[in-house]
Amino acid sequence: MQFNGRTVAVFALGGTIATSSDPATGGVVPALSCEELLESVPGLRSLGVALRIHEFRQVPSASLTLDDLNALHSAIKEELDSEAVDGVVVVQGTDTIEETSFHLDLLHRSDAPIVFTGAMRSPTLPGPDGPANLYAAVLAAAGPWLRGAGCVVVLGDEVHPARTVQKSHTVSTAAFSSPGSGPLGLVAEGRVRLNRPLPLRNVLPAGQEMPVVARTARVALHTVTIGDDGTQLDLLEGHYEGLVLAALGGGHVPERLVPRLHRLTEHIPVVLCSRIANGPVLTRTYSYPGSERDLISHGLIPAGDLNPYKARLLLHRLLATGCTERAQIARVFAAFAP
């Protein structure tokens, strides 16, 4: 398929896809420019897509900050508001791609798709996957198939919504999945083949899509384990503005943690998630001390099927934009529930 007359903005942030060997250490470090990356992609020019290149950052994705992501959102919005581009590709490391794509998906209001991609194998290894992923991402961003889909992740020719995508393997080129739903689509034969209609999207309420620069918010993430004595929870009070609790199973904790959690809810919002990578946190099944019904009755806010990392990003954004009332926060999280 030809895309003559279509324009895609490409924002490069670094990551494995842009690495080369460091002679001093023998390891790989981000080094390649966005233009060098695009030049390495066979057949890309034959698509006929005009590319607007932005050398945005050159860092491992673990070193990206929320300030970086807010700046990226502003830069992408400026491009889309100019109506000079039809879609956007973001190239970055895969370590945090499920979080960065979700963060921008909360803020992105245009119908133009934002396609995140990267690589699991560096260009220094046999069979690097970066060029194929970049080709698929540009094709997906230029075409009509993903308009209205918000932010998606394209790796290994699979298309995953930012809402559901998770990195599920440390080294495999098939590292990304969408537990419970599967990929949204497949890039094949020069097009995106959708497996189902585009999912309904949730974005933040008006007024919370842009950061409040003067306000900071610290949100802790605590994962509950067997034998957890709650000492870490005691250390949070007075130091954090919010907490995401990655609970056992469908949303359960040892009974001895309940008084500590109840005390925390009197001062900060506490969001209840499951530490399991698949399925929603329950709300009305179990009723023993430490169960999800017990915790919700003590003020915890259920996060639906959001995993703890994405729930933390949503809570952070709400707090950073001045949404601090428990009832307000609960309404937003309820909107994200399946």
Cα(88)–Cα(79) distance, rounded to whole angstroms? 9
Per-residue pLDDT for 31 more than 80? no
The whole-number average pLDDT for the span 36-63 is 92
Catalytic residues: 16
Q: Return the axis-axis angle of helices 308-320 and 326-335, rounded to nearest 10°.
A: 130
Sign, CA torsion 102/318/206/334: positive
pLDDT single digits (tens) 65-104:
999 999 999 999 999 999 899 999 999 999 999 999 999 9
Per-residue pLDDT for 205 more than 70? no
Per-residue pLDDT for 214 more than 50? no
Token digits for 332?
A: 């937003």
> Is the Cβ–Cβ distance between 208 and 316 less than 8 Å?
no
If you ran DSSP here, which 8-state letter would residue 96 be given? T
Per-residue pLDDT for 25 more than 90? no
Token digits for 31?
A: 């080094």
323/157: higher pLDDT? 157
pLDDT of residue 266: 95
The whole-number average pLDDT for the span 269-296 is 96
Percent of the chain with pLDDT over 70: 96
* Out of 74-88, 183-197, 213-227, least confident range: 213-227
Cα(242)–Cα(324) distance, rounded to whole angstroms? 9
Pick from 60, 47, 46: nearest CA to 18: 60
pLDDT of residue 209: 54
> Is the Cβ–Cβ distance between 109 and 210 less than 8 Å?
no
Cα(272)–Cα(244) distance, rounded to whole angstroms? 6
Per-residue pLDDT for 3 more than 90? no
pLDDT of residue 210: 52
Which residue, chain included where needed, has tokens 């259920």? 302
Per-residue pLDDT for 311 more than 60? yes
pLDDT of residue 275: 97
Average pLDDT, the chain: 92
Per-residue pLDDT for 235 more than 70? yes
Q: Please give the full DSSP string across 108-143, using - where no structure is assigned.
A: --SSS-EEEE--SS-TTSSS-SHHHHHHHHHHHHHS
pLDDT of residue 314: 95
- Cα 124–14–63 angle (5° rounding)? 115
If you ran DSSP here, which 8-state letter would residue 80 be given? H
Per-residue pLDDT for 213 more than 50? no
pLDDT of residue 206: 62
> 207 pLDDT band (50/70/90 cuts)?
low
Cα Rg of the chain (Å, integer) = 21
pLDDT of residue 161: 97
Sequence-separated contacts (24+) of 177-180 with Cβ below 8 Å: 179/277, 179/278, 179/279, 180/278, 180/279, 180/305
- Cα 300–304–310 angle (5° rounding)? 90
If you ran DSSP here, which 8-state letter would residue 18 be given? G
pLDDT single digits (tens) 107-116:
999 999 999 9
pLDDT of residue 22: 74
208/24: higher pLDDT? 24
Token digits for 318?
A: 């709400």
